[in-house]
């Protein structure tokens, strides 16, 4: 076993992840009685990494702060009182600061055992859970409705498309390239919209005059406004993110207050933040794992290879470019 390992920390607060991030070396810790030491194999790249590096997550925290969130890895050592896990087990973890590091010491309760430390298993713990829990526990996912997903070909969007479709809905998905349109067709999306070629507003006006019953909205900005304008009577919009405003900060807008749009349709907007739904993690992880193993869930991993801790800033910038498709991951060589 190595004596030391490397991790990525922010030494200044900035939405420019590369500028904020620095690699540091630390001694490898030994597990306490209820802890496990994990060698990370894959780390998940998330849209919100630039919010974490900007210090928007834990506002009172002092620099440096550890970066990254989810990782998949192999248990290297366990504490004396750990009973559920042993050396060699594959696990996934999701803790703030736990992703972009070669080794990770966690309390045993924070490590979920999985069949394989794969990028697919990794993507379930945040991207998959967000879609699954938001749609069913907050969005009251039904059948025979029209559901629109934004950033539909992205890490979490790909789950929302498939879960909404498999529940028996008509699914509309927005994206920015024809390659993503083809991917969305593969996933069963009924009406992919490449917003670089078609105005989402026009498509909804012409093809969906009865409006949208449920929206899984992750982009924000003018796309959020269009979605609100097209909510059906009793329509529900899940606001899970606003990636279009992460780099430069929230835009200030002038206009009527949102109730002038919502009340005439008896429509609603629900904010959603995954850590507030921890009590639902267990059953939803099991459901998504089952779906993946039985082949009914196609979890796509972006095929651009990012190798080692040095590649993390490249991977974060790649996701922010809007070009990625499926889940972006960084591989840590064993």
Ligand X SMILES: NC(=O)c1ccc[n+]([C@@H]2O[C@H](COP(=O)([O-])OP(=O)(O)OC[C@H]3O[C@@H](n4cnc5c(N)ncnc54)[C@H](OP(=O)(O)O)[C@@H]3O)[C@@H](O)[C@H]2O)c1
Residues that bind ligand X (CB under 6 A): 46-48, 126-127, 130, 151, 153-157, 175-176, 180, 218-219, 240-241, 243-244, 272-274, 319-320, 322, 324
Rounded to the nearest whole angstrom, what is the least distance from the CB of residue 194 to ligand X in the complex?
A: 8
CB of 37 or CB of 200, closer to ligand X: 200
Residue number with CB closer to ligand X (219 or 312): 219
Decide: residue 83, CB within 10 A, 0-12 exposed, 13-18 middle, 19+ buried. Answer: exposed
- Supply the minimum distance, in Å, between the C-beta of residue 325 and ligand X: 7
Q: Residue 154 or 235: which CB sits closer to ligand X?
A: 154
CA distance 316 to 334: 22
Nearer to ligand X, 39 or 156 (CB): 156
CB nearer to ligand X: give 103 or 272. 272
Measure CA of the first residue to CA of the last residue in the chain; give whole Å. Answer: 11
Q: How far is the CB of 48 from ligand X (least distance, A)?
A: 4
In angstroms, give the least distance from the CB of 272 to ligand X.
5
Instruction: Work out how close the CB of 240 gets to ligand X at its nearest, in angstroms, rounded to a whole number.
Output: 4
Closer by beta carbon to ligand X, 85 or else 190: 190
Dihedral sign from CA coordinates of 318, 320, 326, 330 = positive
Q: Which is nearer to ligand X, 39 or 130 (CB)?
A: 130
Name the residue nearer to ligand X (CB basis): 183 or 332. 183
Nearest distance from residue 32's CB to ligand X, in Å?
Answer: 30
CB of 148 to ligand X, least distance (A): 13
**Which of 157, 154, 82, 81 lies closest to 113, judged by CA?**
82
At 196, list the tokens.
């670089």
Q: Which two tokens stand for residue 273?
A: 């933040």
Q: Which residues contact 91 (CB under 8 A, 6 or more apart)?
A: 36, 38, 72, 73, 74, 75, 85, 111, 112, 113, 114, 117
Contact partners, residue 222, CB within 8 Å, separation at least 6: none
Q: How far is the CB of 157 from ligand X (least distance, A)?
A: 5
Q: Which two tokens stand for residue 111?
A: 């490590």
Q: Which residues of 241-280 are buried (b: 16+ CB within 10 A; e: fewer)?
A: bbbbebeeeeeeeeeeeeeebbeebebebeebebeebeeb
């Amino acid at each position: 076993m190595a004596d030391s390992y490397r991790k990525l920390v922010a030494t200044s607060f900035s939405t420019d992840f590369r500028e904020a991030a620095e690699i540091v070396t630390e001694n490898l810790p030994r597990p306490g009685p209820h802890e496990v030491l994990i060698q990370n194999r894959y780390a998940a790249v998330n849209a919100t990494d630039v919010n974490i590096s900007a210090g928007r997550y834990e506002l009172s925290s002092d620099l440096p702060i550890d970066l990254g969130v989810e990782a998949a890895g192999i248990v290297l050592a366990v504490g004396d009182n750990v009973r559920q896990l042993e050396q060699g087990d594959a696990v996934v973890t999701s803790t703030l600061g736990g992703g972009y590091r070669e080794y990770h010491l966690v309390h045993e309760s924070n490590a979920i055992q999985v069949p394989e430390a794969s990028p697919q298993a990794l993507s379930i713990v945040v991207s998959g859970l967000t879609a699954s829990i938001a749609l069913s526990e907050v969005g009251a996912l039904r059948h025979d409705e029209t559901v629109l997903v934004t950033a539909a070909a992205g890490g979490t969007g790909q789950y929302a498309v498939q879960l909404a479709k498999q529940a028996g809905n008509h699914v509309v998905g927005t994206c920015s390239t024809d390659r993503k349109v083809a991917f969305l067709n593969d996933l069963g999306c009924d009406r992919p919209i490449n917003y670089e070629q078609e105005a989402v507003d026009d498509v909804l006006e012409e093809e969906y005059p009865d409006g949208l019953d449920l929206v899984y909205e992750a982009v924000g900005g003018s796309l959020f406004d269009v979605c609100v304008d097209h909510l059906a009577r009793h329509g529900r919009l899940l606001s899970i993110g606003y990636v279009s405003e992460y780099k430069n900060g929230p835009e200030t807008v002038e206009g009527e207050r949102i109730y002038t749009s919502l009340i005439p349709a008896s429509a609603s907007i629900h904010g959603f933040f995954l850590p507030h739904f921890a009590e639902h993690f267990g059953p939803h992880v099991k459901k998504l794992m089952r779906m993946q193993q039985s082949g009914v869930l196609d979890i796509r991993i972006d095929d651009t290879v990012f190798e080692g801790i040095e590649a993390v800033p490249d991977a974060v910038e790649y996701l922010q470019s809007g070009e990625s498709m499926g889940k972006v991951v960084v591989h840590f060589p064993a």
